[in-house]
Structure 1
Amino acid sequence: MARWKKGRGVAASWYGIARTATIDRAGAWVELDDGGTAKVVTGVTEIGEGILTVLAQVAAEELGVRPEDVTIGDNDTARSPEAAHAGATRQTYMIGNSVALASRDARSKLDAFLANHWGVSESSIKAFNGFIWSEGTNNRITMEEAVDLCKKNGVVPVGSASFTAFGTGLDPVDGSGAPWQTYVFGCQVAEVEVDTLTGEVQVLGMWAVHDVGRVINPRGVEGQIEGGIVQGLGQALMENYELHNGHTTTPSFSKYILPTALDVPQINCRLVQDIDPKSPLGAKGIGEPALVPTAPAIMNAIYDAIGVRISSLPATPEAILEALQRKAEGEVRLAS
């Protein structure tokens, strides 16, 4: 019998975006400033997911300036609009949409002034990459010139907005309700190789397809998916926090094992853009959803490889060998 056995497993998932069973909200201020730059003020917290880059991209596209000309202001909530916490995969959905709406509010004031100044319709005003113009005419100036002209005539192109996501609790009797305003969906496939002698599991590859709504920053989304998969791999095979009489027996990384670069397989991502009709941006989110199907996919792959079902995480070598032993003993009893 071959010592190493390969298997593949698949798992699908769904995940609700923004706060659960309550009203979520976020606000922002945006101003087109001197020099054709822009500033955004919101109470957002960056925890490494790249939300500040996303907000700069959103504001730049909505305002018609370059991303590098957008400054994200002080996020002290004593001096900025509410953005709430960095969790529930809500940052892009809640703060991104509030920044988009505030940017549109600022642009509407600039566009209205230029339309009147040029004698054209407001709908003809377009802007991109630091230039603003009226379609079908020769009117074209830099954003710096447009803001200067606007302010010299007493108009400050500043905007504010908030975005709200509605949810309701679930009825305790029939389960009806709407705990989230939007959902994302995903599917992952894992390929593993199991050493039947030692119980070691090697994850050879992961394939992930996720619906994230409109993709604002593809590299950022792929990074979120890859990070979620690495975390899920640790959950599936290594991470095991243990307590004894109220005290941890895994107090350090010498006993609480995390994946390293040597444990991470090739990760292949595909993004599905199912636009959310309730989102001004059409975007949803991907922070936590990328983690959900990883461990189930790996467990299904282990089952495909060696025919034993691991129902408690992590699937350590000891757990694999114990499951194989139970399987062998069951086969012996059936044979007898």
Structure 2
Amino acid sequence: MRKKIIPILMSIFLLAFIPLNGDATSTVIFIEPQLTIVEIFHTFQINISISEVTDLAGWDFKLYYPNSLLNATEITEGPFLKTAGDTFFTVKEFTDNYNETHGRIWAVCVLQGQGSGATGNGTLATITFNARLDGIATLHLAEKDLIDSKIPPKHIIHKTIDGVVEVLGHDIAVTDVTLLKTVVGQGFTCCINVTIKNQGKYTETFNLTVYANKTMIGIRAVTLPDGNSTVITFTWNTEGFAKGLYIIEAIADVVPGETETADNTYIDSIIKIVLAGDINADNMVNYLDAIILGAAFSSQPNVPNWNPNADINNDNNVNYLDAIILGENFGKTDP
């Protein structure tokens, strides 16, 4: 048996010296399916297939793939060449680290003995991968060769079609935190708008939590379809919080399968809790605050003289109710 194998293997490894078969052909070696869509961290298989081939006695290919996205775990011989007889199948190289960016699989298969080769369509090999990161991966067939059963064998002219793998990921991002005012009277409320976006490929349900100086001030369960963005408004009641500066932080829970987690947290807003009526936050309630309130009096959001800091009771109106609060604390200082 070994005596039969050796000449065939020699022909495979010396393919550069085999004359080309000049006949026109429609033979195609290709990745099947052409497009594979898979969820991150899942396992999938692709076939190296062939169509419209005549008298195939041996094949040889190298497959390249991005090792940042995919991890190859197994290759097995397909059934097609075996339809013509016993085969010798060997894997010359199987590594995720062919170079810094790509893995490479190099496989060879030949018929043993003499006789006609395989004709028609079928699977040459099946490869199993793990999807390790979301993105688009090209499966590139290169340096491949097909030979027929003639003595000496001839190359079979063929075309090649690569494949694409789209790895779908999970990715929630907090894209903005906006405070509707920068000063809030102690014991009163203020509104915080948090913008979130589902940058992944699946509808996600998760918790969105807002903190003031690491103290939780609100939590909301959110369901967000893929590709969508929404604004969630939190109302913070400052009752029981000490006067001073507070950093507002919004955190979206990491969803299963999410790998890009840095953008789940957004910290970029500061608000000051003050003595109610201290609109300009200078630690005293006096005529300066009254002037500011007067300038915004009778205003509502989206009008030119609207000043949210002057809306002390946070009812979207600057009116006599705010003036009463200011008046009650007029002349007071903090501390």
TM range (shorter): under 0.3
What's the TM-score once normalised by structure 1's chain length?
A: 0.25
Taking structure 2 as the reference length, the TM-score comes to 0.25
User: Whose strand fraction is larger, Structure 1's or Structure 2's?
Assistant: 2
Of structures 1 and 2, the larger Rg is shown by 2
The structure richer in helix per residue is: 1
